[in-house]
Amino acid sequence: MREAYRLNKNELKKDGAALTLFFIYTGKDIIDFESMCTKIQELFKKLAIQVK
């Protein structure tokens, strides 16, 4: 999860807005990296729209 966040955090910095986020994963299953990366990207796109 950290790596997915690190690779995609620049999506939130494009508009100059600063956000502080933290994630708590409570699932019992281990999710593969590609799925986690995709979900983080989707979340950041939604957040970017909401922040504008």
Q: CA end-to-end span of the chain, whole Å?
A: 25
User: Residue 29 and residue 48: Cα distance in Å, rounded?
Assistant: 28
Q: What pLDDT does residue 37 have?
A: 93
User: Residue 28 and residue 48: Cα distance in Å, rounded?
Assistant: 29
Residue 17: pLDDT over 70: no
pTM above 0.75, yes or no: no
Residue 48: pLDDT over 70: yes
User: Residue 30 and residue 51: Cα distance in Å, rounded?
Assistant: 30
User: Beta-carbon neighbour count of residue 4 at 10 Å?
Assistant: 20
**Cβ-contact 50, 18 below 8 angstroms:** no
